[in-house]
Amino acid sequence: MFAIGDFARHGRVSVRMLRHYDAIGLLQPVAVDPETGYRYYEAAQLSRLNRIIALKDLGFTLQQVASVLDEQVSAAELRGMLILRRAELQSQISADTARLTSVEARLLSIEHEASEPAADVVIKRIAPVRVAELTAIAPSYEPESITPVIQPLYHDLFERLAASRIQPCGPGIAYYEDSVASETAVQVHATVTVAAEPGDRHDFHVLDLPELPVAATVIHRGSMDDVMPTGQALARWIDANGYRSLGYPRELTISYTGNRDEMVTELQAPIARTKQTDRRGHE
Partner DNA sequence: TTGCTCCTCACGTCACGTGAGGTGGC
Per CB under 8 A, the segment of 15-23, 114-122, 157-165, 201-209 that binds its own copies is 114-122
Q: Is 37 in the site for DNA (CB under 7 A)?
A: yes
* DSSP notation for the chain: -EEHHHHHHHHT--HHHHHHHHHTTSS--SEE-TTT--EEE-TTHHHHHHHHHHHHHTT--HHHHHHHHTT-S-HHHHHHHHHHHHHHHHHHHHHHHHHHHHHHHHHHHHHTT--------EEEEE--EEEEEEEEEES-SSHHHHHHHHHHHHHHHHHHHHHTT--EEEEEEEEEEE-SSSSS-EEEEEEEEE-S--BSSSSSEEEEEPPEEEEEEEEEES-GGGHHHHHHHHHHHHHHTTEEE-SPPEEEEEE--S-GGG-EEEEEEEEEE-HHHHTGGG-
The least distance separating DNA from the CB of residue 58, rounded to whole angstroms, comes to: 12
* Residues within window 32-91 making contact with its own copies, judged by CB under 8 A: 42-44, 46-48, 50-51, 53-54, 57-59, 75, 78-79, 82-83, 85-86, 89-90
Residue 83 site contact among DNA, its own copies, none (CB < 5 to 8 Å, cut-off depends on kind): its own copies
Q: Is 280 in the site for its own copies (CB under 8 A)?
A: yes
Q: Is 251 in the site for its own copies (CB under 8 A)?
A: no
Q: Is 254 in the site for DNA (CB under 7 A)?
A: no
Q: Binders of DNA: how many residues, by CB under 7 A?
A: 19
Task: Candidates 11, 27, 39, 49: give the one binding DNA (CB under 7 A).
Answer: 39
Residue 254 site contact among DNA, its own copies, none (CB < 5 to 8 Å, cut-off depends on kind): its own copies
Q: Is 279 in the site for its own copies (CB under 8 A)?
A: no
* Residues within window 40-99 making contact with DNA, judged by CB under 7 A: 56, 61-63
CA distance 6 to 178: 72
CA distance 202 to 168: 15
Do residues 42 and 11 make contact, with C-beta atoms less than 8 angstroms apart? no
The least distance separating its own copies from the CB of residue 137, rounded to whole angstroms, comes to: 30
Q: Is 10 in the site for DNA (CB under 7 A)?
A: no
The least distance separating DNA from the CB of residue 12, rounded to whole angstroms, comes to: 11
Q: Is 3 in the site for DNA (CB under 7 A)?
A: yes
CA distance 101 to 123: 14
- Interface residues toward its own copies, by CB under 8 A: 10, 12, 42-44, 46-48, 50-51, 53-54, 57-59, 75, 78-79, 82-83, 85-86, 89-90, 92-93, 96-97, 99-100, 102-104, 106-107, 110, 118, 120-124, 217-219, 221, 254-255, 264, 266, 280
Binding site for DNA (CB under 7 A): 3-6, 14-17, 19-20, 35-39, 56, 61-63
